[in-house]
Amino acid sequence: RKRLTITKLAEMKKQGQPISVLTAYDYPSAKLSEEAGVDVILVGDSLGNVVLGYDTTIPVTVEDIIYHTRAVARGAQNTFIVADMPFMSYGASRKKTLQNAAKIMQLGLAQAVKLEGGETIAKDVKALVDAGIPVMGHIGLTPQAVHQIGGYKVQGKDDADIKRLVKDAVALEKAGAFSIVIELVTEKAVNEMKKKITIPIIGIGAGRNCDGQVLVYHDVLQYSSPYFAKKFVKTYANLANDIKEAIGQYVMDVKERVFPAEEHTFEPIPTVAPPKQQ
């Protein structure tokens, strides 16, 4: 199959075809996602949480994103790859914003970048787009601002907040963003945004009316320990259980000398007896 383009994504929205987005962070997660038919892979800075074990996405660096995106790019050569710009790698200085995005594209081999924020970063979005870098926006709950927001709270609960979200979405579209991720917002807020913008809205915890959905790989597969259930996530496997069981079995087999068996052995001596246990 061919790698999607931002033009094709716009077309999919126009034709009412839902867009499936999933995060990936390395070669196997990218390759499996591509083989399973994911439309867009996001190398999210959620890798800080689910791969690197941080409490928030704030410690993630441009170098972390590049390292993981490069592995994803090798695994998913026919899938559109968006990479997150991490905390404070954009917005403070226009020049740094452009340099960091360029590094992510050139060294990470992503096709687009994503950054968090609405009206306040619209000028940076425009500068990136003017430089030829496709930008995905991200509004609603923006995890890089978790300490500012005061927790992982649902956004767009009252009319004033919905108005703010709609303004942010409009500003991003005007600045040239090709799509917007909307995280943890009410369905009402999404409906109001849809009246005002035409670019595809990719939701996470944003209800049923978005043009596409995005989830975190480790959430979909329950690939973490402990696994925290989230209301907006649907899980399709329980890898943590499977992995723990499998590893436990391996450890037991080694301890009980069940593994390696004759079939795993080169030129085995058939009569060798296991050493006596004390």
Q: Give the interface segment with Na ion, choosing from 20-28, 45-53, 70-78, 189-197 (CB under 5 A).
A: 45-53
Regarding 124 and contact with Na ion (CB under 5 A), the answer is no
Binder of residue 192, out of Na ion, ligand KIV, none (CB less than 5 to 8 A by kind): none
Q: Helices (DSSP H) in 143-238: which residue ranges?
A: 146-149, 159-175, 187-196, 217-220
183 is catalytic: yes
Structure tokens at 2: 């061919």
Q: What string of DSSP letters covers 79-116?
A: SEEEEEPPTTSSSS-HHHHHHHHHHHHHHH--SEEE--
Binder of residue 204, out of ligand KIV, Na ion, none (CB less than 5 to 8 A by kind): ligand KIV
Q: Which of residues 54-113 bind Na ion (CB under 5 A)?
A: 84
CA angle 195, 117, 140 (to 5 degrees): 55
Active-site entry in 35, 183, 245, 267: 183
Contact predicate 34/79, CB 8 Å: yes
Supply the minimum distance, in Å, between the C-beta of residue 49 and ligand KIV.
Answer: 8
Which residues contribute to the site for ligand KIV (CB under 6 A)? 23, 42, 44-46, 84, 138, 181, 183, 204, 214, 216
Q: Is 109 exposed, middle or buried (0-12, 13-18, 19+ CB in 10 A)?
A: middle
Cα–Cα distance between 226 and 237 in angstroms, integer?
15
Supply the minimum distance, in Å, between the C-beta of residue 43 and ligand KIV.
Answer: 8
Supply the minimum distance, in Å, between the C-beta of residue 47 and Na ion.
Answer: 9
Please tell me whether 263 is known to bind a ligand: no
Supply the minimum distance, in Å, between the C-beta of residue 19 and ligand KIV.
Answer: 13
Please tell me whether 114 is known to bind a ligand: yes
Binder of residue 39, out of ligand KIV, Na ion, none (CB less than 5 to 8 A by kind): none
Cα–Cα distance between 166 and 119 in angstroms, integer?
10
Gap between the terminal Cα atoms of the chain:
60
Structure tokens at 264: 């795993």
Residues in contact with Na ion, counted by CB under 5 A, come to a total of 3
Please tell me whether 84 is known to bind a ligand: yes
Q: Which amino acid is at 201?
A: I
Please tell me whether 116 is known to bind a ligand: yes
Binding test (CB under 5 A) with Na ion, winner from 45, 64, 124, 219: 45
Binding residues: 45-46, 84, 114, 116
Catalytic residues: 183
Binding residues for Mg(2+): 45, 84, 116
* Positions that interact with Na ion (CB under 5 A): 44-45, 84
